[in-house]
Structure formats: structure tokens, C-alpha cells
Amino acid sequence: MEKNYKLTIAYDGSRFYGWERQPGRDTVQGKLEGVLTRLNDGPVNVIGAGRTDAGVHARAMVASVRLDTQGSCQEIQAYLNRYLPTAIAVREVKEAADRFHARYNALGKTYRYTCYVGSAKPVFDRPYVTVLDYRPDLDRMRRAAELLTGTHDFKAFCANPRMKKSTVRCVDSITIRQEKDRLYFHFHGNSFLQNMVRILVGTLLEVGRGRWEPEYVQEILASGDRRMAGPTAPPEGLCLMKVDY
Amino acid sequence: MEKNYKLTIAYDGSRFYGWERQPGRDTVQGKLEGVLTRLNDGPVNVIGAGRTDAGVHARAMVASVRLDTQGSCQEIQAYLNRYLPTAIAVREVKEAADRFHARYNALGKTYRYTCYVGSAKPVFDRPYVTVLDYRPDLDRMRRAAELLTGTHDFKAFCANPRMKKSTVRCVDSITIRQEKDRLYFHFHGNSFLQNMVRILVGTLLEVGRGRWEPEYVQEILASGDRRMAGPTAPPEGLCLMKVDY
């Protein structure tokens, strides 16, 4: 009998062409579906809470999938961890309500963006940090982050110029903190537009390095023009930390 | 005028065939000498505090090297970090006394060995941990570690069967602790024989999984026979943390 499952998945995005399946390329969804198809003995459709870009990591991506298997949740998890590449780990498998849908039911997401601001080089976590050759001013970035927090039209922070649906989003909180030689940005919001977190980080860093005044982010928001915002920060610093349901 | 320098170096050992230079292979010493030869405009001899095996990491390897350069220590460090591979970082460059020798003057070393004992898979630090498929008993291993601590003939824990010099070493302390799904062994001693830390870990794990009683390590020590001790634990879990002078 077919049942619905909720999977919590961590992956090292540096090894994949993003989440979404693509013919002939290693993607996280593709790898999951490949292994689950064998377990299920038939095609499966793994639905992710969202799509991460190539190079972006996840500590707790959530996916839903319908499977027709006798195996327990623990057995499904063990099977996945055995046959998936080492760069993907299934942290949890749970039976879910029949109508549970990882994307439609997601209420919020937490992303973390990590920059390395030390004087040497990061040796042991190079694929997981973005190396800066300057030290951005935290106070300036925090002032800008405050102005970006809340419900706004984030059209200027969306990579897709042909986005037809609403580009209004609510970002509940943006926190910025430094621990030794690592600078962490945490974003929590209901949902995010394409590349939105990376463009927000790219913009905050422009403020942090003194190119723009913190208040300038209000003009960017008001413009709705992607060209007004900062560059898209590189994918390696970004990690999906949590999905709320 | 030639001056003597002390370098502190971190590296991701998974990218190299160990510390020691070898023709046609990427080694840490080889890379350092390659870059410093250009800076020095002539051959250099980088002396490491010890040699790490292929796959073994270092957070603070120390090396000494004589250079004839006008550059300040900061400039030498910046030059090295610019031209070395991303998997090697020079943490510090200091002028050293003329007679300072990284190997002869080393008084002690700290090694850390990390095992992953969680139920999922380590995704973000796979090259830096040894994955166990069992959970060793900490108390048993600590009892064995206590018996191994002190000054002993560690011949049974030496990979080189033709070792002509003394195999007596003093291991001041072995500590074992678990933090969430990671198990850490710390070793501090005056110096270590070839593969000694890895054979100690391999032996402690045999005790921890219940194959041997803790007291058995005394028989291993007394035998002086490598075949009596446990297997050589894999290199990826091992990291040189500190060298004392």
C-alpha cells in the first residue's frame, strides 16, 4: 500500500548541479529518485520544499515522496544512506499525512550564508564559505538588514526578470554575527524568490564595505529593478538550514 | 642576508600524498618548497616538525626554512597563501633564532583523531572523520588508554619493523571524549613512531567494541610485536593539532 513519507536531507551542494533533476547531470533530486525507484520498484516523484541552486548546501532540506514498500522508516533511511553518494545524507524518514506536500505546506525557511573574513585561508571548509578579502562593517549591514526586514516587494532581489507571480515576500528576520573569522547571515522568511538570499547578501556586503549607505536599500526595494541591487553572492556560502511546517 | 623562519601551516591532507616531498607527486613539503623557491630565487629546504602520512591533516604543522628575501614576515605569508593550493594555508610566519630547527627542537606534539559515530552520514566533513558502524564503549577505551599512557617501549605500535633506534616514547596523555556524533581522541607526547597514533586508535577501538579487554594492551606493549596490536586506523581521522617548542 502506498504511503506518504517526509524525508529530511543534508547535502554538500558543491558536488551537484543543484536540487532539481536534469537529464545527464548529478542533482540531489535525481540521485534520490534514482535510489528510491529501486526501493519502490517503480517510478517515484520526490517533491522538495524548494530548489537549491548548483553549489548551494542543505542541512535540512525536506522532501515528500509516496512509496509502496514494506520497509519501516528506519529501513528506508538505511537503504537511502547506503546507496546515495557520500555527499547526501538522509537525516530522518517519517510517515506523513496523506496530504502532506513538502513544497505547498512549507510555512517558512531558514537560510544561513557564511563568509570567511580571516587573514589566512579556510582549509577545512573551503566549499562551504565565501572568502572575502575585506572586513565588512557589521553595524552598517545591520542597519540595512533592518530596512530589508518585513513584508516588501522583493522584485529587485529576484533573478527571474519574467516572474509573473507576486514578488511580495515576508522576511521575518535577518541576523548578522561574526564568530572569529566567520561572518554568518541568517535569513528567515515565508518563502524566497529565485537567488533572493544571495542577492540580499551581495547587497548587504556592498553596504558593509562602504560602497552604499544602509538607507540605499530602500531605494533598491522601491525601484523593483534587479540592476539596482548588489551582485548575486556566490553559491558556496549558502545553506538551507530548516523548513518549518 | 639569509634568515631563519618558523612557519605554522594548516592543510587538508586528503589532497596530498603526505608531507614529505616525492618526485611527481603532490606533497605539502613539495608545494611549500615550490613556492618558496620562487620567492627565494633559489633552492630552499623546508624542515617539518614531523612527517604526516598521505590523507593525514594538520591544523598547525610547524616548519623551519632559511630564506634570503627582503620581504617582511607578513609579505612572505601573503605570498605563500596566494600561490599555494587552496588546501594549504600558512597561518603564521615568524623570524626564528638562527639555530631553530623545526624537527630537532620539537618538545611535544598533540594529535587529534576523530571518528563519526552518528546514525546518518557525515556530509560536510567526510574527508576529516573516520566513520564507524558501531558505538565503542568509552569507559573501556579510557581504561586501556590509561594503561598506554606514560613511558613505554611502543615497538608493537610502530609500523616500521626495521626501526633501529629506540622505540621508547612518552605519551603524557590520551583523552577520549564524545560530542554528539563525534568521538575525539587526543594524544600528547614527546614524539611518536611511524603510524603510532593510528595503531593506538585502532587498538583502542578493538577494546571499545569489546573484542579485547582493556588490560590486554599491557600484553601488546610487553610483546613488542606489531601483529599483536590493532589495525592501523585510516588516515582521514587524524590531524596534527600542535607542536610544542
Residue pLDDT, tens place only, B66-75 = 999 999 999 9
B132 touches chain A (CB under 8 A): no
pLDDT of residue A109: 98
* Chain B residues with CB-CB distance to A125 below 8 A: 124-125
- Interface size between A and B, measured as CB pairs under 8 A: 51
* Chain A residues with CB-CB distance to B11 below 8 A: 123
B83 touches chain A (CB under 8 A): no
**Would you state the torsion angle of the CA atoms of residues A21, A241, A64, A104, taken in this order, to the nearest 10 degrees?**
-90
If you average pLDDT over residues B47-75, what whole number do you get?
96
Q: Is the pLDDT of residue B224 over 90?
A: yes
If you average pLDDT over residues A148-153, what whole number do you get?
97
If you average pLDDT over residues A37-63, what whole number do you get?
94
* Chain A residues with CB-CB distance to B85 below 8 A: none
Please report which confidence band the pLDDT of residue A41 belongs to, taking 50, 70 and 90 as the band edges: confident
- Residue of B91, B120, B123 with shortest CB distance to A120: B91
Helix A138-148, helix A196-208: angle, nearest 10: 140
Q: Could you tell me the CA-to-CA distances from B118 to A35, B115, B179 in Å, in that order?
A: 22, 9, 10
Q: Is the pLDDT of residue B217 over 80?
A: yes
- Is A126 in Cβ contact with B87 (below 8 Å)? yes
What percent of chain B is helix, strand and coil (3-state, nearest 5)?
30, 30, 40
Between residues 7 and 46 of chain A, which touch chain B (CB distance below 8 Å)?
10-12
**How would you class B87 by CB atoms within 10 Å of its CB: exposed for 0-12, middle for 13-18, buried for 19 or more?**
buried
From A77, which residue of chain B is nearest by alpha-carbon distance? B120
If you average pLDDT over residues B98-113, what whole number do you get?
97
Q: What percent of chain B has pLDDT over 90?
A: 93
From B239, which residue of chain A is nearest by alpha-carbon distance? A124
If you average pLDDT over residues A185-202, what whole number do you get?
97
**Rounded to an integer, what distance in angstroms lies between the CA atom of residue B6 and that of residue A96?**
59
Mean pLDDT of chain B: 95
Q: A159 vs A163, which has greater pLDDT? A: A159
Topology at the third CATH level for domain B3-95: Alpha-Beta Plaits (3.30.70)
pLDDT in tens, B145-195: 999 999 999 999 999 988 889 999 999 999 999 999 999 999 999 999 999
- Is B91 in Cβ contact with A10 (below 8 Å)? no
**Rounded to an integer, what distance in angstroms lies between the CA atom of residue B68 and that of residue A7?**
59
- Is A128 in Cβ contact with B86 (below 8 Å)? no
pLDDT of residue A164: 86
The shortest C-alpha distance from A92 to chain B (Å) reads 8
pLDDT of residue A162: 84
pLDDT of residue B41: 79
Q: B122 vs A144, which has greater pLDDT? A: A144
B122 touches chain A (CB under 8 A): yes
Please report which confidence band the pLDDT of residue A161 belongs to, taking 50, 70 and 90 as the band edges: confident
The shortest C-alpha distance from B82 to chain A (Å) reads 9
- Residue of B81, B123, B126 with shortest CB distance to A120: B81
Q: Which residue, A39, A17, A42, is CA-closest to A29?
A: A17
Helix B196-208, helix B138-148: angle, nearest 10: 140
Task: Yes or no: say if A174 and A145 are a contact pair by the CB < 8 Å rule.
Answer: yes
Q: Is the pLDDT of residue A83 over 90?
A: yes
CATH number for the segment(s) A108-244: 3.30.70.660
The shortest C-alpha distance from B177 to chain A (Å) reads 22
Helix B73-83, helix B28-40: angle, nearest 10: 120
**Rounded to an integer, what distance in angstroms lies between the CA atom of residue B178 and that of residue B137?**
11
Given CA atoms A191, A194, A198, A204 in this order, what sign does their dihedral have?
negative
Strands A57-67 and A238-244, how do they pair? parallel
pLDDT of residue A220: 98
Q: Which residue, B183, B175, B193, is CA-closest to B129?
A: B183
Of the residues A121, A131, A239, the best mutation for testing chain B's interface (the one with the most B CB atoms within 10 Å of its CB) is A121
If you average pLDDT over residues B15-40, what whole number do you get?
95
- Residue of A10, A91, A121 with shortest CB distance to B89: A121
Q: Which of A12, A41, A53, A68 is catalytic?
A: A53
Q: Is the pLDDT of residue B81 over 80?
A: yes
B91 touches chain A (CB under 8 A): yes
Q: How long, in residues, is chain B? A: 245
Task: Yes or no: say if B106 and B245 are a contact pair by the CB < 8 Å rule.
Answer: yes
For CATH 3.30.70.660, the residue range(s) in chain A are: 108-244
The shortest C-alpha distance from A107 to chain B (Å) reads 26
Q: Is the pLDDT of residue B11 over 80?
A: yes
- Residue of A10, A120, A124 with shortest CB distance to B90: A120
B120 touches chain A (CB under 8 A): yes
If you average pLDDT over residues A95-108, what whole number do you get?
96
For CATH 3.30.70.580, the residue range(s) in chain A are: 3-95
Q: What is the pTM of this model?
A: 0.84
Which range has the worst mean pLDDT, A36-45, A54-63, A219-228?
A36-45
pLDDT of residue A42: 84
pLDDT of residue B37: 95
Mean pLDDT of chain A: 95
If you average pLDDT over residues B110-135, what whole number do you get?
92
